[in-house]
Amino acid sequence: MPFTQLQTELDTRKAQGLLRSRRTLDTPQSPHITVDGKPYLAFCSNDYLGLANHPQLSAALQQGAQQWGVGSGAAHLVSGHFDAHHQLEQQLAAFVEKPAALLFSTGYMANLGVVQALVGKGDTVFADKLNHASLNDAMLLSRAEVKRFRHGDMAQLANYLEQTNGQARFPHLNPLPQAGEEANESLREFSVKCGRKLVITDAVFSMDGDIAPLREMLALCERYDAWLYVDDAHGFGVLGEQGCGSLAHFGIKSPRIIYMATLGKAAGVSGAFVAAEQVVVDTLVNHAHSYVYTTATPPALSVALSQSLQLIEQGDALRTHLQKRITQLRAGLSDLPWQLMPSETAIQPLLIGDNHQALRLSEGLRERGIWVAAIRPPTVPQGTARLRITLSAAHSTADVERLIGALHELAC
Ligand SMILES: *Cc1c(COP(=O)(O)O)cnc(C)c1O
């Protein structure tokens, strides 16, 4: 058998309690779903505002398909960029108060494309150790030097930035050009490209739920002339005035921030966008491979997303309800043998530690008709397996009460 070794590897994973598999839902995304004919109360989607199955979004998607058909038929730079995409980009840019925005097919692709387009050999990326896997993959792909700082540790980030300061490296050119030395054209062009510094971070950490110290990070980026790339997959739509996201949450604004948010989580649809200065967006249009070399998303999705953006803007009641469920859950679980992690967002992980115990608890909940995902390494560090509870505006007080009750039963 040509794949015996692969089977052995999977068997090993299984023995470690790390084998992953999928379950198939028979009903649309919602806290109340049917899986294999059995009803479940679910706490694992990222559909924070309960928009994924919203009738107005389904209607907008249908209307979009009537108007634009199904496929885009080409990449954006060929003939796949439609007015529906264009309108949505302008709405998104205005919403997050940036001069320009660019749609990507997914957040994963946005991260790969942005980091690869903005930095390369001779540049340095500074990254929080708990960043999302797509950011980690992105920096490897970029071939920039990587410095990973301890989670949320601004002193270590400052140290790394300080060490890199004035150390712009010129891998193909020796010796370094001296100050005042007449540089030839190619040298000048090269020196502009090298020694860039890009700090990249999740705004809300996807497996911990805590919020990055963006204000401090921006101050460091200003001090060391670095760019700041913020992945707001879990903040957009939920945090800040009108759900504008994590930048609004902190009240920060700067041209050096490149902002990315995904549109398949709180926005309830699919895709992602990057919002930044026009020159950054133009650079991405020209250089981000995951933008250039891929078919544009169906324009009908953009029609649905424009509608979603309106629901987000008008969604204060949803966000207030979500906030109340978060408070309710934290109060209800404060006396368990396991600790809730320090999070104020809709991501409320219950730290278990051991992989097998996390799986057993998840299984115990499942037997009680409740679905909470057990998150294990390598998604999270060794020894920090957890139940990742996510709340949604679609959860009722009774739903959260049921989860609290079940976890107390399992703790006995
Ligand atoms: C989900 C997620 C992504 C990927 O976005 P997709 O649109 O699902 O590809 C990127 N970054 C973070 C922090 C995420 O949680």
CATH 2.60.200.20 fits 18-49+315-411, yes or no: no
Task: Report the residue among 129, 207, 231 best suited for mutation to probe ligand 1: largest number of ligand atoms under 8 A from its CB.
Answer: 231
Q: Is the C-beta atom of 305 inside 6 A of ligand 1?
A: no
Q: Please give the positions annotated as active site.
A: 206, 234, 265
Domains 18-49+315-411 and 55-313 share a fold: no
Global confidence as pTM: 0.92
Which residue's alpha carbon is at the smallest distance from atom 2 of ligand 1?
233
Write down the CATH number for the domain with range 55-313.
3.40.640.10
In this predicted model, what pLDDT tens digit does every residue of 144-192 receive, in sequence order? 999 999 999 999 999 999 999 765 544 444 444 445 444 444 444 444 4
- Ligand 1 centroid, distance to 337 Cα (angstroms): 31
Choose among 230, 210, 264, 203: nearest CA to 49.
264
pLDDT for the residue numbered 183: 47
Taking the CA of residue 263 as reference, the ligand 1 atom at the shortest distance is 7
In this predicted model, what pLDDT tens digit does every residue of 342-392 receive, in sequence order? 999 999 999 999 999 999 999 999 999 999 999 999 889 999 999 999 999
- Ligand 1 centroid, distance to 290 Cα (angstroms): 15
Taking the CA of residue 262 as reference, the ligand 1 atom at the shortest distance is 7
In this predicted model, what pLDDT tens digit does every residue of 84-124 receive, in sequence order? 999 999 999 999 999 999 999 999 999 999 999 999 999 99
Q: Is the C-beta atom of 229 inside 6 A of ligand 1?
A: no
Which residue's alpha carbon is at the smallest distance from atom 3 of ligand 1?
107
Taking the CA of residue 202 as reference, the ligand 1 atom at the shortest distance is 13
- What percentage of the chain exceeds 70 in pLDDT? 93
- Ligand 1 centroid, distance to 301 Cα (angstroms): 18
Cβ neighbors of 141 (< 8 A, separation 6 or more) are 112, 115, 116
Task: Report the residue among 206, 258, 388 best suited for mutation to probe ligand 1: largest number of ligand atoms under 8 A from its CB.
Answer: 206
Q: How many CA atoms lie within 13 A of 275 on its CB side?
A: 22
Q: Show me where the domains of the chain are located.
A: 18-49+315-411, 55-313
Which residue's alpha carbon is at the smallest distance from atom 10 of ligand 1?
107
pLDDT for the residue numbered 167: 58
